[in-house]
Structure 1
Amino acid sequence: MTLQLSGRWFLPCPHVSTHSIQCRTSPYPNPKFPQTRALSATASLFSPPPAIQIVGGKTPTWRENGSVTEAVDDEIDWAEMDADLYYWTRALRPVQWYPGHIAKTEKELKEQLKLIDVVIEVRDARIPLSTTHPQMDLWLGNRKRILVLNREDMISTADRNAWAMHFSRQGTKVVFSNGQLGMGTMKLSRLAKSLAAGVNVKRRAKGLLPRPVRAGIVGYPNVGKSSLINRLLKRRMCPAASRPGVTRELKWVRFGKDLELLDSPGILPMRISDQAAAIKLAICDDIGERSYDVADVAAILVQMLAKLPTVGMKALQNRYKIDVDGQCGKMFIEKLALRLFNGDVHQAAFRVLSDFRKGKFGWVALERPR
């Protein structure tokens, strides 16, 4: 029986027993996951009507305890999580967002890069791999670069250490920051000036007067670029808000006598080919809400949180007072909608996403180095 609460979204999500699950080699087109094994729920393949389910992935890491299923491993296999996420997103509408101002910004930014001494790339510390533009290395070439992982307060010390080690091995200068409170801003300023110190050495050798170091701040929407600049300047010089698309034009601002900063709007690729990364952008509010189905994204978030040892399905059930067997995120959102929002799926989904973004499950990273 199909439950019609919100159009196509609410198809039933039957419980799939471990006896009906078969492993198969999945021919993923994504080169990041070659030869990955994923689950195929054979029970759902032959049951009319065919329900789109966000379940399965790889070998289950769950144990049954009455109506509660929990991740049993203390450490999550992040490569496995990415493979699961890719599998879950295959049936969903693609997440794409490319408002008109981004195309204009990209063109202008390429021109301004010719004037920049050092580039400061800002990423979301919860998803550093998903918040880097695939063309960034090509645009920057040999220019000196500083990587800023903003929102360091939203990840654990273990996550922070893992990323610090990862980028250190790559020889990348990394600064952890909190754009809201200003942590890391002074270190960032000193590092930018030191990396670009050779600029004025060359100018003096040519008989030219010294000039301020020019640093361009780039990154995806809503990763905290403008907030970081405002904290550096200790005043509100750039518009900033907790939603993507607020900054819409490039702007130079002066920081003291020795540093000039270029604030730029968030830039995204015209087409996001990695839909697993796109879902993470949606979960973390780093992409426009019109680009995705809130209910689909919330359902996947539930499944990710259920699989993370630091959260687990039991924590979700305790928070929302909902008892759901298995690991079906859609059924969880369905029950929440019926319990709290008179069947309104959108409100239920938004509640779960909002709770995650506010740290109601603890501060949780959705990526670790692979």
Structure 2
Amino acid sequence: MGLTDNYKLNLIQWYPGHIAKAEKNLKEQLSRVDVVFEVRDARIPLATHHPQIDEWVGSKTRVLVINRLDMIPAQVRSLWVDYFKNRGETPYFTNAQHGQGVVAVSKAAQAAGVELNQRRRDRGMLPRPVRAVVIGFPNVGKSALINRLLGKRVVESAARPGVTRQLRWVRISDQLELLDAPGVIPAKLGNQEAAVKLAICDDIGEASYDNQLVAAALVDLLTSLEEQAGELLPKSPLYARYELDPIPHTGEGYLHALAEHRYKGDVERTARQLLTDYRKGFLGTVPLELPPM
């Protein structure tokens, strides 16, 4: 029984107009870029992988940045490191809000620059700063990463896709220029399961979805992760927070029971609270994906 089998409707809608425009701008600029930083969310590193990124990156250097490392247990992080290394990728884990791991990301870009300029010299051309772009879903922490790389606040973080306005180049150092690109969402996300995870983690920007369905999906997901790999998660995150055991309930049933137990029967308020608690880390360091074994 998959996570979304209960939700046979198209759960999440977003606005392809915004997205098409952001994507077109990005594609136009990509020809001028040497290095692509792909930023993903440590809680859902697979769901935050943009399906078109491979065709966008082509033969350029890609640096895989997995942000919000503070939101998953250390043990889960090491499993992801092994998973990506087995696929020939080096993940750089960061907590961009606090600057953790950012120096390594900057060094990876500079290493790409050294290679680029060696090739330019071999062809009798002058060296130039390496041009990088940061790509990822809205809200995964791109602006925080750019601000950390710069060492000052220049980029306004914004939850709405397309709010990172027109594309602009930001010079980080003599060696590095950065293109500040808006959050890109696939124009259609065929995989509703991934869409639900994006909504739970608030990595989807300005989409419309039903809080109650998404909160119920979160409860179902936590229950199934506990069954699969309880040893990797904080113990009974929902029980620890709300003193109500999810085990006898479906996600939807739990939402209603919790509303009665805590919020005077207000299911919508309960759903919002649950999602907020998860997003703020009040349920503990709980990943929503584990590496496929």
TM-score normalised over the length of structure 2: 0.90
Larger radius of gyration: 1
Counterpart of 1:137?
54
Q: Output the aligned Cα RMSD.
A: 1.9
Counterpart of 1:9?
none
Does structure 2 retain, via aligned residues, the 8 Å contact 1:98–1:268? no
1:245-256 equivalences under 5 Å are 245=161, 246-256=163-173
2:27 corresponds to 1:105? no
Does structure 2 retain, via aligned residues, the 8 Å contact 1:124–1:223? yes
2:6 aligns with one of 70, 81, 88: 88
Deviations 1:15-47 (A, max 9, x none): xxxxxxxxxxxxxxxxxxxxxxxxxxxxxxxxx
Does structure 2 retain, via aligned residues, the 8 Å contact 1:149–1:176? yes
- Segment drifting more, 111-120 vs 316-325: 316-325
Equivalent position SS for 1:145 = strand
Counterpart of 1:167?
84
Q: Matches of 1:132 and 1:319 in 2, distance apart?
A: 30
**Superposed displacement of residue 318, structure 1:** 4.8
Does structure 1 retain, via aligned residues, the 8 Å contact 2:81–2:90? no
Counterpart of 1:40?
none
Counterpart of 1:277?
194
List gaps (5 residues or longer) in structure 2. none
2:235 corresponds to 1:235? no
Equivalent position SS for 1:288 = coil
2:285 corresponds to 1:368? no
Q: Matches of 2:171 and 2:257 in 1, distance apart?
A: 53
**Superposed displacement of residue 290, structure 1:** 4.2
2:73 corresponds to 1:156? yes
1:336-347 equivalences under 5 Å are 336-347=258-269
Q: Matches of 2:240 and 2:27 in 1, distance apart?
A: 50
Counterpart of 1:330?
252
C-alpha spacing 1:345/1:359, structure 2 compared with 1 (3 Å) = same
Equivalent position SS for 1:111 = helix
When the two structures are aligned, how many residues end up with a matched partner? 285
1:46-65 equivalences under 5 Å are 57=1
**Superposed displacement of residue 325, structure 1:** 6.3
2:136 corresponds to 1:219? yes
**Superposed displacement of residue 291, structure 1:** 2.0
C-alpha spacing 1:140/1:328, structure 2 compared with 1 (3 Å) = same
Counterpart of 1:261?
178
**Superposed displacement of residue 155, structure 1:** 0.9
Q: Matches of 1:317 and 1:92 in 2, distance apart?
A: 29
2:116 corresponds to 1:199? yes
Deviations 1:55-84 (A, max 9, x none): xx2xxxxxxxxxxxxxxxxxxxxxxxxxx3
C-alpha spacing 1:346/1:150, structure 2 compared with 1 (3 Å) = same
Does structure 1 retain, via aligned residues, the 8 Å contact 2:15–2:207? no
Equivalent position SS for 2:184 = coil
Q: What percent of counterpart residues are identical?
A: 49
Does structure 1 retain, via aligned residues, the 8 Å contact 2:12–2:207? no
TM-score normalised over the length of structure 1: 0.72
